[in-house]
A and B are shown apart, each in its own frame.
Chain A
Amino acid sequence: MTQTRNLIDEDGKRTDGRGPDELRAVRITVGSVKNADGSAFIEFGKNKILAAVYGPREVHPKHMALPDRCVLRCRYHMVPFSTDTRKNPAPSRREVEISKVMREALEPALMLQDYPRAAIDVFVEVLQSDGGSRCAGITAAAVALADAGISMHDLVASCAAGKVNDKIVLDINDEEDKEGQADMPVAYMPRLEQVTLLQLDGRLAPDQFDECIDKAIGGCKMVYEIQKQALMQKYFGNETELKEEEQ
């Protein structure tokens, strides 16, 4: 990827005014889809993404059921009005790929063996996109899965890092994604310290790669705190601080 435009100014600020280690504003609302078993709405910068989880429920078609564990099915989809020019609502090659990597990013966190012969469906609808929507989608889906009461080892938090103006920066936005030099989305389980998604579009030197992954994991940890806060707020209101009480 070759960069044609300057994306960091003399003050070290990026196109949207952020510093190199700054995350866009993240807000998560839990339980926004009443018909779903679990749901979450995430605003990650200009991204607006809705995640809904159904299940564990019966598998249809039945031949897809697994005898020893649950089937996890993910669908990542961008609505036609989510981009500048209309997006064809039919699943594109990109959406099929993201659905697959999203499933693989969430699967290690779930205790699928607890629900044999059942299925869990995760739907991620991008209402407005602004680069890094797969990361925001995974983050929202993990919260929705926890909201659905599905047994999990840990939440999955996701954040990207990348290279802009030969500098490694956190949380690439749409402009930096299109015109920057590299984009690396990472999904991470902070408690288990395990990476569940690692993709890279662009070129990085080995030391840059290390810096980039460290930065992305740092971003995931920040996102994780926001996820935890959102869940606590939904279930326990303002009691999040007063967590312990003896009888």
Chain B
Amino acid sequence: MHEVKRRYVIPGDKIAEGNFRPLTNVIRSGTALIATRIGIAETGREGVKVIPLSGVYIPRVNDLVIGKIIDHSSLSWEVDINSCFSAHLPAQDVFGRDFSPARDDMTKHFAIGDMVTARIVAFDRTRDPMLTVQDRDLGKIPRGELLRISATRVPRLIGKRGSMIQTIEQATQTRILIGQNGIVVVTGRSPEGVDLAVRAIRMVEEEAHTANLTQRIKGLLNVPEPTTSQERSPVTTADTKPVEIGSTIDEVDEELEVEGEK
């Protein structure tokens, strides 16, 4: 892996000077590259970008989101995806090309108030996001415990190659569905397991920047430590010391390697 320089930035901070390409949340001002949001700036070979640490969900094409059907017209459903733009799901996507508003009953598929898992197929600055449910694991969510977390915490909740979420799922015997928009659905057989998973997710959200989070989550969930990691110091759930720079880099790695899906 090539060398990547990282540092903490707030809006207006100069990240680098020179011939770098400004990527996300970075602007060029003369020869300098300036951060536009609070986060961790990364200077790499491809350019300079800032991984934001706060902010609401802004849709992106191909994002997997969880939304709530809030209305429908004769041709599409309106879906609340926890963003400043409400998405729409065309009826043709569900009924097929030969959809007829006169013949097909849209409420048969999705009623107002239903939760759906969907993928964003189109979105730009001129139009609201368009969704599809035509893919594996997409569609109506029949049951589960609903949670709303900050969209900037989603990569941390998933963890490196899904490690965090797998840990929680295995320890609590639950199934956890995460939308990129920060909506999480937890399902499981036992209410205790669901309850514990919800507590673990809340903890990840609140302590996303702190070091040794995975260890503390394991402590909360009573996951036995594998023998190989015994050299690590025991960490309790009450331990919330501020993040060390080394661990932040690990966390950023996790954010980068996981593209939002398990």
Contacts and interface: CB of A to CB of B under 8 A. Distances in A.
A100 interface: no
A245 B249 contact: yes
B85 A117 contact: yes
A200 to B, nearest CB: 27
Nearest to B124: A116
B125 A116 contact: yes
B38 A146 contact: yes
Contact of B54 (A55, A118, A148, A238): A148
Interface stretch (B6-14, B159-167, B215-223): B6-14
A218 to B, nearest CB: 18
A227 to B, nearest CB: 9
Nearest to A191: B12
A118 B172 CA distance: 39
Interface stretch (A127-135, A158-166, A169-177, A228-236): A228-236
Given A235-B209, A242-B245, A152 B55 contact: no
B84 A118 contact: yes
Given A147-B38, A244-B5, A153 B125 contact: no
Contact of B8 (A57, A146, A155, A232): A232
A245 B10 contact: no
Contacts of A58: 84-86
Interface in B1-32: 1, 3-8, 10-12, 14, 25, 27, 29
B8 A236 contact: yes
A89 interface: no
Contact of B10 (A115, A146, A190, A237): A146
B56 A239 contact: no
By CB atoms of chain A within 10 A, which of B27, B29, B53, B56 has the most?
Answer: B56
Contact of A149 (B7, B54, B243): B54
A237 B243 contact: yes
Contact of A245 (B7, B12, B25, B53): B7
Nearest to A242: B245
B37 interface: yes
A38 interface: yes
A55 B56 contact: yes
A94 interface: no
A14 B65 CA distance: 59
Interface in B142-161: 152
Interface of B: 1, 3-8, 10-12, 14, 25, 27, 29, 34, 36-38, 52-56, 58, 84-86, 125-126, 152, 209, 242-246, 249
17 contacts: A58-B85, A118-B85, A147-B54, A149-B56, A151-B25, A151-B37, A152-B36, A153-B27, A154-B34, A191-B14, A231-B10, A235-B10, A239-B244, A244-B5, A245-B7, A247-B1, A247-B3
